[in-house]
Amino acid sequence: MGKFRIIPSIYLYNGNVVDKETKEIVGDGDAVELATFYNNRGADELLVFDLSSSDSEHDANIGTMIKIQDAVDIQMIVGGNVKRLEDVKKYIYTGAKKAILDMSKDANVEIVKEASERFGSDKIAVMLNKDYDFSKIKQLKYDGVSLIIADSCANECIGLGIKVLALNCNFTFNDMVEFGKQDKVYGISDNSFAGDFDFLNFKAQLKEEGVNTIVFESAMSFDQFKKNSDGMIPVVVQDYKTDKVLMVAYMNEEAFNLTIKTGKMTYFSRSRNEIWVKGVTSGHFQYVKELSMDCDLDTMLAKVYQVGVPCHTGADTCFFNTLVKKEYDESNPMRVFEDVYNVILDRKKNPKEGSYTNYLFDKGIDKILKKVGEEATEIVIAAKNPDPQEVKYEISDFLYHVMVLMAEKGVSWKEITKELSRR
């Protein structure tokens, strides 16, 4: 039996989060903020529905989907407005795990097999409702469908040989437990998975009832750690994306167990002599991404998603009082790219007389594209030379001009590396 996923739904219209029935904006309509909230609270994936009717609305929702996937670690299953195969491609190119075809729409039925062959069966899900002719399920299996999203018809889809995600089924908790124990179930998306819903706690409850949910489970107990004289261990806290060291705090057994249970970094305050959840007063929570122990089992490394800043001073790290520093060559490739790119951005915002970078910006996109093309050709020519030094120089020139192009088009290295990581 695979893992049973708990998946909230997000409905988009004109790029905003809306009520699926009225299309009225929910809250401030910020889909990225909502998706990030669900991600941090322990949702396993996201169902994102495109409620657009026009091409402009469709494109706005596609853009929002891309922003969502850039912002979160969990994957999306997306759909809602497929009229042709090109729309399936657009959904998949957002970075989505799967694109949904609605079997109540003839245009979708006609392209299921072609979509599966072109993009892979693992990329195609279908939406079925209670009016579907379930005698046609064998055809869906033949066409290469990997997931059924069962809208109010989950029980009818059990035992059909394709994984099932239950949607809008109005299950009670006991119904969810029973459904979660079935063979070939993928997960559930329920209307109750909204607001301040505690996904981690809910999954823990299902786990206790025998459902194979995705929860934090430590490979070691606190008893196995080497504690200090106060029964605690120091915790070095690190940003999970940048590796920046944020702070150091201490955990006792209660704090450790609460961290595992809630997914929020919880410590023991030695000055206040009490348990404290980081961010409970400031809102600057730290959400667990990875916990590991050192070779002596006496110090923990916590990789976290940091909301806001970690330091009470407002600094982005508690380690800002430099004592000794020797000049050294910064050889971190990503740091070099970011630094050069930031200089280029600064030239764009604050032109400097005689700057070649400003010359390119002044001449416009055609000049920039011409230089990118010329430098690409120079790489090809240099590669014919046995000496690799020339290739190194030409690639450097090429990357510089590409970064000028990136700045002109508003594309960052973060977006580029995120896209590369998906491939």
Positions of CATH 3.20.20.70 in the chain: 5-208
pLDDT digits 0-9 by tens, 5-54: 999 999 999 999 999 999 999 999 999 999 999 999 999 999 999 999 99
Helix H or strand E segment including 166: strand 163-167
Q: Is the pLDDT of residue 415 over 90?
A: no
pLDDT digits 0-9 by tens, 159-199: 888 999 999 998 999 999 999 999 999 999 999 999 899 99
Q: What is the CATH number of domain 5-208?
A: 3.20.20.70
Q: How many residues appear in the chain? A: 423
How far apart CA 151 and CA 73 sit, in angstroms, is 26
pTM, entire model: 0.82
Query: Above pLDDT 70, what percent of the chain?
Result: 99
pLDDT value at residue 160: 83
Query: Above pLDDT 90, what percent of the chain?
Result: 85
Identify the sign of the CA torsion 339, 343, 345, 349: positive
Is 333-422 in CATH node 1.10.287.1080?
yes
Positions of CATH 1.10.287.1080 in the chain: 333-422
Kindly report the number of other CB atoms within 10 A of residue 387's CB atom.
8
Positions of CATH 3.10.20.810 in the chain: 222-306
Which bin fits 102, alpha (ψ -120 to 50), beta or left (φ > 0)? beta
Kindly report the number of other CB atoms within 10 A of residue 118's CB atom.
14
Q: Alpha carbon of 272 to those of 276, 307, 331: distances in Å? A: 9, 23, 42
Chain centre to alpha carbon of residue 148:
23
Helix H or strand E segment including 147: strand 147-151
pLDDT digits 0-9 by tens, 242-293: 899 999 999 999 999 999 999 999 999 999 999 999 999 999 999 999 999 9
Given the candidates 1.20.1290.10, 3.40.50.261, 2.40.110.10, 3.10.20.810, the CATH classification of the domain at 222-306 is 3.10.20.810
